[in-house]
Structure 1
Amino acid sequence: MGGAAAGAWSALPRVAVILLVVVVLAAALLAGVVYGFQRSVIYLPGDREVPPIAGRVEGARDVELRTEDGLRLGAWFLPPRGADRDTAVLVANGNAADRENRMPLADALTAEGFSVLLFDYRGFGGNPGRPSEGGLAADARAAQRALEEELGFPPERTVYFGESIGTGVASRLAVERPPAALLLRSPFTDLAALGRHHYPLVPVGPLLRDRYPVAENVAGLEAPVTVVYGEEDSVVPPEQSRRVAASAAELHAEVAVAGADHNDAVLFDGEELIAAVVELADHAVR
């Protein structure tokens, strides 16, 4: 058998053997590049440092988050401007964003009586460190801990708000430290599924280092969940957001915003989004 196999191999044209070797080496090189540099594609932190909020917005304060692996991260706490609900919203940002970009969202939420904690992940907003799934999870835990221990909002008086990649962060935090409620804006089912959608020719699943299993997280969550997404989302396919909603053990609402793409203003601080947060908090926080 071994001799026959060797004879068959030697019978292959020399050019075909060379081409086969080239293809195998190219595939291995591509896999190595994808594996090694994937986080520079997944995470888009920018390079700017966010200035302090104290003195710029009435009642707002700068908060320093301390992660379990020793990082110190910047955050902002903004008090309610409307009738105080005694409820906080912890915001887990999407990509290519920092807490200053999320001020329109915070303004809209504080006007509805919420306290808001905006924070930046490691590597974002001038923070130290390099982003990863485990790192962002640690950052979110540090934010929740500060919100509870320093600012007086335990999980049962907190709504976790995650957007885009932040839905992976917020849903994991919700599993670890269950909140009053969870709102997910433009969630994907998991990062591998999103990767296969955008890179169909790359074996994304086996190569991914970070997973973000959003649908799996909400399937085991005993807290009300609202899912908001744009019907014309070109970054996260709307069908993935719908599957997340269908997976939720306690789905409170599914809000499809007509005509909205992923980065349209209506999905950052629009009326339908803010109304969904208010309605969810009214349902969950007594």
Structure 2
Amino acid sequence: MTTLTRAALVVVAVLLLLLALLWVFQRRLIYLPDSAPVPPAAEVVPGARDVTFTTGDGLRLAAWYVPGTRGVTVLIAGGNAGNRRDRAPLARALSDRGFAVLLMDYRGYGGNPGTPTEEGLHRDALAARDHLGDTRVIYFGESLGAAVVTRLALERPPGGLVLRSPFTDLAAAGRANYPFLPVRTLLRDRFPVAEGIRRVRAPVVVVYGTHDTIVPPRLSRAVAEAAGERATTVEVAGAGHNDLVMLAGDEVVGAVVDLAGRTNQ
């Protein structure tokens, strides 16, 4: 065996080892929960209270609920990082406009038990929606949460959906950030947003920032195109993925207010 052949075999072995490690530990790269317990709801959002609900696989999850006066509840599904405390500014802004709000945390987030997976997050969202009972609900999904509420809408149709910084599927977002990796081949969790949104019958608002480098704007626009004539878009000029304006800025909150007005007609 020549030196060049041995070197090539070592390189191949190292690459295979790295791919195997990515396969095993990929969910630690996808899901970045802040698992620390959060404070009581009323300490963070005025008028809020702590609630719990149980998933289909037996996990008891904590969330924050804020009563409202408009007859519309906004179910907020967060992104892949942090916990519900990070989304409190959005809950406060929506509450100030009269909406009831259920600010959920997934399994493994915000002191909740369990480990996040695509199927697990779907069960969490189903339990959150069922907790609200027979009421008019708008789903708000942030980034990864846009995938969660899109799938939820296929089983529990909402009055409408606001998808903030959605990707077409997780592999497309992964390729944008890791173009040198065979992301689509490696991924266990898929989150096919564009495929699912084609079958959702409710009106959709897609909100995205023009300077988003985590979920490129072209992916969010593709989601809106997949939704067809049911979709409207809100483009936030100059905004990146995690900018404060994308959390509870006027464009984001206004998208919910506008959608609620249209679905109430």
Question: Same-fold call, TM > 0.5?
Answer: yes
| TM-score between both structures, scaled by the size of structure 2 | 0.95
Higher mean alpha-carbon deviation, 20-29 vs 171-180, is at 20-29
Q: Deviations over 1:169-208 (max 9, x none)?
A: 1111111211110110000111001111111111111110
How far apart, CA to CA, are the structure 1 residues paired with 2:54 and 2:127?
6
Taking the TM superposition and a 5 Å limit, the aligned residue runs for 1:128-277 are 128-148=113-133, 152-153=134-135, 157-277=136-256
Structure of higher CA gyration radius: 1
Matched position secondary structure for 1:100: helix
Secondary structure at the counterpart of residue 37 of structure 2: coil
Q: Give the paired residue count.
A: 265
TM-score normalised per structure 1? 0.89
| Residues in 2 aligned to 1:201 and 1:36: alpha-carbon distance in whole angstroms | 18
Cα deviations across residues 185-242 of structure 1 (Å, max 9, x unaligned)? 0001110011111111111111101001111111111110000000111111011111
Q: Is the 8 A contact 2:44 2:85 kept in 1?
A: no
The answer to whether the Cα contact below 8 Å between 2:176 and 2:214 also exists between their aligned partners in 1 is no
- Aligned counterparts of 1:26 and 1:220: Cα–Cα separation in 2: 43
Equivalent AA in structure 2 for residue 35 of structure 1: W
- Within the candidate set 51, 73, 93, 2:61 is matched to 73
CA 1:35 to 1:57, structure 2 compared with 1: closer, same or farther past 3 Å? closer
- 8 Å CA contact 1:188–1:236 kept in 2: the answer is yes
Q: Contact (CA 8 Å) 1:225, 1:250: kept in 2 or not?
A: no
Q: Separation in 2 of the partners of 1:21 and 1:262?
A: 41
Aligned residues with identical type, % of pairs: 54
| Amino acid of the structure 2 residue aligned with 1:194 | A
Preserved contact between residue 122 and residue 130 of structure 1 (Cα < 8 Å): yes
Distance 1:40 1:71 in 2: 20
> Which shifted more, 18-27 or 228-237?
18-27
| TM-fit CA distance, 1:54 | 4.5
* SS of residue paired to 2:206: strand
> Any idea what SS the aligned residue of 2:234 has?
strand
**Cα deviation digits, residues 73-114 of structure 1 (max 9, x gap):** 11011012xxx2101000000122211221110111111111
Residue equivalent to 1:88 = 73
CA distance in 2 between partners of 1:188 and 1:111 (Å)? 29
1:107 alignment counterpart: 92
What is the CA RMSD across the aligned residues, in angstroms? 1.5
Q: Are the aligned partners of 1:226 and 1:252 in contact in 2 as well (CA < 8 Å)? A: yes
Any idea what SS the aligned residue of 1:281 has?
helix
**Runs (5+) with no aligned partner, structure 2:** none
- For the residues of structure 2 that align with 1:99 and 1:285, how far apart are their CA atoms? 28
Aligned mate of 1:27, from 5, 15, 37: 15
Residue ranges of structure 1 left out of the alignment (5+ in a row): 1-12
Which stretch of the first structure deviates more once superposed, 19-28 or 216-225? 19-28
